[in-house]
Structure 1
Amino acid sequence: MGKFYKLFSTVFLASAVHLAFAQQIKLSKDVEHALTLVDTAQIKADITYLADDKLKGRAPGTKGFQMAVDYVIEQLKALDVKPAGENNTWLQQVKLRKAFTKDVVLTLTGQPDLKAGADYIIYPNPELPKIRLNASLAFAGYGISEPSLGYDDYDGLDVKGKIVLVMRGAPDKFSSSVAAHTMNTTQILKVAAEHGAVGVIMASTDSTSRLPNTSRGIFSVMDKDGSVAVSRIYYSKQVGIFGAIGYKLFNLLLLNNGKSIPSISAQLKTGQPASFSLPVSADVSYSSFYQDIISYNVVGKIEGSDSELKKTYIVHSAHLDHLGIGTPVKGDSIYNGAHDNASGVASVLSIAKIYQNIKVKPKRSMLLVLLTGEELGDLGSGYFAKHPTVPAGSMVADVNTDMPTIIAPLLSITALGAEHSSMMNQVNEAAGYLGLSVEPDPEPKQARFTRSDQYSFVLQGIPAIHVKYGSKTADGKNNLNDMVAVWRAKYYHKPQDDINGIFDFGAGKKYAQLNFLIGYLIAQDPQKPVWNTGDIFEVK
């Protein structure tokens, strides 16, 4: 951990904990009473239904996912939420494209007989079915260009018309959310395109890792005009190649140029770029073919009370999908997704329950959005954030709930992304009201800020947060992270994540109350959330 992050963490923790207990908000008796009506039995019932075997893991495009859609719509109707999808319905159609490759060939100067799948992979192109490209290579470090943060892998490097070779990572001085953003493939592809590159190849620095398996297809979202709307493997027609090479080949390319993976890795970690052109050309050809699947986002609305501010929206989001049926683990092949993310959906429904019992609604309106395709790369949220079913520019904040991990009492939190905007104020106020302390990200290496749906809103310039557990425990050991690590190893993305696992429904109630309060406080504020001045996400 770098000095910058240590300093950031210390300052953030001290100020956040102080504010969380110093700023006591005052709520009307109406709102105070409504908060108490969050029902742990209903949270359990919602999770139980959504994680039932009969929904078969809620994979997008399946009958099980449709059952989940029908369930949440009926719940929202009963909670007096109004439809806010396309054409006055509850739904927004999302066209998912599953893309595959065939006839893939990559040759590099001086490296004969490269084997697809072992030495390299090429991701499918969701828009262009045939690609043939010959270009020289350039090593562009992490593929990051952030001069305002004092780091730019592209400084002095000409990559126009070239394929850039990139390592996954970020300098130690970057905070966890900044690192997660800059090393995200969406951002890496975008930066490469802005500098004129025609391809990106990710290089493995782990001698024990295997290249990704693309044989089952890679998903993107297609726009109505047939172009790519959202993808984690595609940015533009200009960047025709996105692939990866293994450790052995990458190491060989570096050694041939008098460099090594350990030395370059160490240099980049200190914040010193190590970019250079390679005397190597790549010849790439491949074809892509597709399967299209129709899925849906569910969108509901609670109208605000102010004649003007009600035209703007706070979004409460959670993904409805999970992994469907997959490789059996201990004889079970249904990936039920009880924690991930039936619990998050149950939390949003609990927020709707609170609003049902508030007579005077907040000034701004609320959108409750249950999303498809999160497990495929935040695809449903990416499409909704880019093509909302409400007027463009009317969404002012997103409060996302994804796998809150309700396995122990909730005593402290970390609000991923809050440090980037004025939403930190509402987080502190809401946490203080509920007696929760606020901590920095306890697991910065997990890159959690960019691994869920809030990131899609951030990419569209909308301040967003994702509240997760902190480290505090009732016994004072404050090692909840250790407990979560054990839980994660047994349950995360496994069939064992069903209703028979570990749950603390009281923690689920507190999560719902907290996220409601954050959204409610933002909705009551005449000033919409803004990015911090000079922040990496500030819309220039």
Structure 2
Amino acid sequence: MIKLYKHLLSAALLLSATGSFAQQVKLSTEVEQAMQQVSPDDIKAHITYLADDKLKGRGPGTEGYQMAVDYVVGQLKGLDVKPAGENNTWLQTVRLRKAFIGDANLTLSDAPANTNISKGKDYVIYPNPLLPKVSISAPLAFLGYGISEPNLGYDDYAGLDVKGKIVIITRGAPEKFSSSVSAHVMNASQILKVAAQHGAVGVIMASADSAARVPNISRGVYSIMDDKGAVSVSRTFYSKQISLYASINYALFKALLQQADKNLQTVLPQLKAGQPSSALLKASVGASLSSTYQDILSYNVIGKIEGSDPKLKKEYVVHSAHLDHLGIGTPVQGDSIYNGAHDNASGVASVISIAKIYHNIKLKPKRSILVVLVTGEELGDLGSNYFAKHPTVPVKSMVADVNTDMPTIIAPLLSITALGAEHSSLEKNVAQAAAYLGLDVEPDPEPKQARFTRSDQYSFVLEGIPALHVKYGAKTADGKNNLNDFVATWRAKYYHKPQDDINGIFDFEAGKKYAQLNFLIGYLVAQDPARPTWNTGDIFATK
């Protein structure tokens, strides 16, 4: 009952804030007219091209992806956007490495009685993107969720020395954490980072689902290499120190804990309740693996709209969207081209529409605008992560990121959720922009989906840049306010399937409103003399 009250109170405060900020937005006639010139037909045309079969799903490094790059560059040139990539070009080179596991074996010493483990069934070892051959032997320790956030009152590592050990971690977060904080601390790259900071030499992810299988990694695992051959971005690698990253199934997880007098059925509720249950285990692990690589060149597209203030034009508001999709894959109903019309040709179309608004405004905002279309989002936010780590402008000059990923334009847009806005002063800008357009602002309706960390805005957050991602709300014209049900049905049929093409369900007027909203959020930030700030004490304020 208390949790329900807090949820309702949060929603009430959010809606109240929306109303209180409404009177603060005053736009010039020129800006209002430019916003009205966003064209649903143009949005449809952009999506139609980018999701055409001839682009073959826009897989990074493919001819189809290059066609998408060329199309976007052509559109931005026509809107007087200037190149802002490497060496005064439109592009930033992204060196993808697809790593495959070769010979890989894991053995247990001092193992629980009657424990026989089988590769591919009980465990899987991930390839190492940097070291072609790895051999490791170390004792095991159980570290709960692998979270170390003492400022939030939770630390799985407190009081336990894991230096030189391989840590077993089960993915999750205490119930008391908010949805976006949970998503952050559960992220694989964050888990690896925390383990390395505490001296661990390996990480084993353990399944808490008795019915789940270990991951199938036969198609390879992606990372990004920098121009010196080091790993720059990866979801499965943090440093040479963590030379083993693996997964084990529920049965093996349970047996290892039982040997240390821990009952998994007791431990899991304790962790969820915010009670760490870390312990040294009796068994040790030996592992050997070999990895092979396929290197692929892809590109981020970056453009700039220069601001009007002599000082503030050196700062940037970023509008981002991912240009890639899944390429050609397993056929579904006879179709193997994963066109990605909604995901994310629609988001790219929205960013092009934002550029068009600026094209039609003679007096540009005080700050400059950076348009960033990234590769590798479907591979784990790789292109955006690389850009945020190695931007083509000074990283401290980027004041905010407004990301657009699959806005789901399948019904009239009446309310929105702004994932991540609650962590910073961007929440005010969202409320102002939404009120101006007559939109309600709602809390995240799907907190367990961890959507905040599953798209490109998270890459900017990790570099200390306030960011957000606008998604649909639940409001419907008939008052039932159950849009989530319709989206769930749509998602089951179209999401990450070849059926996500231009022949699916679209509401291009909703696409227009999304573009207007994201433009206005960014425009308000670009006009404000004060740059956005993290909320005091927020988990991301120290990044």
TM (norm. structure 2) is: 0.98
Listed one character per residue, the Cα deviations across residues 123-161 of structure 1 (whole Å, up to 9, x for unaligned) are 111111111110000000000011111111111111110
RMSD: 1.1
Task: Sort the Cα spacing of 1:231 and 1:8 in 2 relative to 1 into closer, same or farther, 3 A.
Answer: farther
Q: Tell which deviates more after alignment, 169-178 or 257-266.
A: 257-266
**Residue 537 of structure 2 corresponds to residue 534 of structure 1:** yes
Which residue of structure 2 lines up, in the alignment, with residue 443 of structure 1? 446
Once residues 105 and 53 of structure 1 are traced to their aligned partners in structure 2, the CA distance between those partners, rounded to angstroms, is 41
Which 10-residue stretch deviates more, 33-42 or 249-258?
249-258
C-alpha separation in 1, matches of 2:15 and 2:480: 18
2:298 aligned with 1:295, yes or no? yes
Contact 1:99 1:291 in 2 (8 A): yes
Tell me, in whole angstroms, the C-alpha distance in 1 between the residues paired with 2:5 and 2:284: 43
Identity %: 71
Structure 2 partner of 1:46:
46
Q: Is the Cα–Cα contact under 8 Å of residues 43 and 343 in structure 1 kept in the other structure? A: yes
The CA distance in 2 between the partners of 1:269 and 1:392, in whole Å, is 37
Distance 2:29 2:61 in 1: 44
Offset at residue 260 of structure 1 (A): 2.7
Mapping of 1:34-183 within 5 angstroms? Answer: 34-109=34-109, 110=111, 113-183=116-186
Paired residue for 2:14?
16
Partner-residue secondary structure (3-state), 2:524:
helix
Residue matched to 1:427:
430
- Cα distance in 2 between the residues matched to 1:394 and 1:233: 30
In the TM superposition, 1:342-357 aligns within 5 A as 342-357=345-360
Tell me the number of residue pairs that the alignment of Structure 1 and Structure 2 aligns: 538
Cα 1:8/1:235, change in 2 over 3 Å: farther
Q: Deviations over 1:304-339 (max 9, x none)?
A: 000000000000000000000000001100000000
Structure 2 spans left out of the alignment, 5+ residues: none
Structure 1 residue 334 and structure 2 residue 337: aligned? yes
| Partners of 1:11 and 1:124 in 2: CA distance | 46
Q: Which moved more, 1:348-357 or 1:257-266?
A: 257-266
* Separation (CA, whole Å) in 1 of partners of 2:152 and 2:284: 32
Task: Name 1:378's counterpart in structure 2.
Answer: 381
CA contact (8 A) 1:104 1:122 kept: yes
* 1:200 equivalent in alignment to 2:198: no
Q: Deviations over 1:140-197 (max 9, x none)?
A: 0000011111111111111110001001100111100000000000110011011110
SS in structure 2 at match of 1:286: strand
Deviations 1:463-498 (A, max 9, x none): 100010111111111111111111111100000000
Deviations 1:503-540 (A, max 9, x none): 11111111000000000000001111111110000026
Deviation at residue 248 of structure 1 after TM alignment: 1.4
Aligned to 2:457: 454
Q: SS at the partner of 2:395?
A: coil
Distance in 2, Cα, partners of 1:297 & 1:45: 22
- Equivalent residue number for residue 402 of structure 1: 405
* Compared CA separation, residues 247 and 295, structure 1 to 2 (3 A): same
1:432-455 Cα deviation digits (max 9, x unpaired): 100111111100000000000000
TM-score for both structures, normalised by structure 1? 0.98
Following superposition, the deviation at residue 18 of structure 1 comes to: 1.4
Aligned residue for 1:57, secondary structure, equals helix
**Cα shift at 1:6:** 4.6
SS at match of 2:464: coil
Structure 1 residues 6-15 or 85-94, which shifts more?
6-15
Q: Is the 8 A contact 1:57 1:336 kept in 2?
A: yes
Distance in 1, Cα, partners of 2:488 & 2:395: 40
Q: CA separation in 1, counterparts of 2:209 and 2:439?
A: 39
CA contact (8 A) 2:108 2:286 kept: yes
Separation of aligned partners in 2, 1:493 and 1:108: 38
List alignment gaps of at least 5 residues for structure 1: none
- Give the distance between the partners of 1:48 and 1:258, measured in 2 at CA: 59
Q: Which amino acid aligns with 1:256?
A: Q
The structural deviation recorded for 1:212 is 1.0
